[in-house]
Amino acid sequence: MSREAQLAATREKILEAAREQFLIKGYADTSTRDIATAAGITQPALYHHFADKELIFVQVIETVGGELAANMNQILDANKGDGLEILTDMSAAMVAIHPRDAFSLIHGSFQYLRPENQAQLGRLFAQDYLQPIMRFFKSDKVVLRDGVDPATAANFYLTSLAPLFAKFHQLGGANLSQREHIQVLLRLILFGVAEK
């Protein structure tokens, strides 16, 4: 294996290890030592490939966000089912990729990042997370209330997903399937909790 191929393979191992660590533990609770250990390398070897933890995090979110956007856009393009079914499929795609709340993961990291990385993460969040959800809320599968635009609806949706990642207390009870849990939450998001 050539030197370039070895460097590329090591870089990929770092990103795979970092993805697992960041998505499970979050930015603040993941150290470069954790990433290096999970990748089977030393910290100095990690720093040979990445200048700091922030750059690794941004790269991981870029990769994960790109996968999520592709999955959600594929669901939208298929256009199968009513609005609730489509949004359920999109939500299931998010839960499959993110073992914890994506909004909290990304926005919770902002306080630790340099302004240029905050800006990059903000662009990635808008492009890969908000845009597909806004696309759904612009579609004929849903009718928004007066005064609610697709951007507001998409932001509200993303900030309301935390109950899907709870293990201790689940909406609708513990005996529901993941899809049923998602639909309980989506009915609350889409239709509210009160009749009047």
Interatomic CA distance for residues 84 and 123, integer angstroms? 27
Interatomic CA distance for residues 18 and 27, integer angstroms? 10
Residue 72 has what pLDDT? 98
pTM of the model: 0.92
Residue 167 has what pLDDT? 72
Residue 105 has what pLDDT? 92
The pLDDT tens digits of the residues spanning 155-185 come to: 999 999 988 887 777 777 778 898 999 999 9
Query: Which residue type does 179 have?
Result: R
Helices (H) and strands (E) in the chain, counts: 10, 0
pLDDT beneath 50: ranges in the chain: none
Angle at 120 between CA 116 and CA 121, to 5 degrees: 115
Residue 189 has what pLDDT? 94
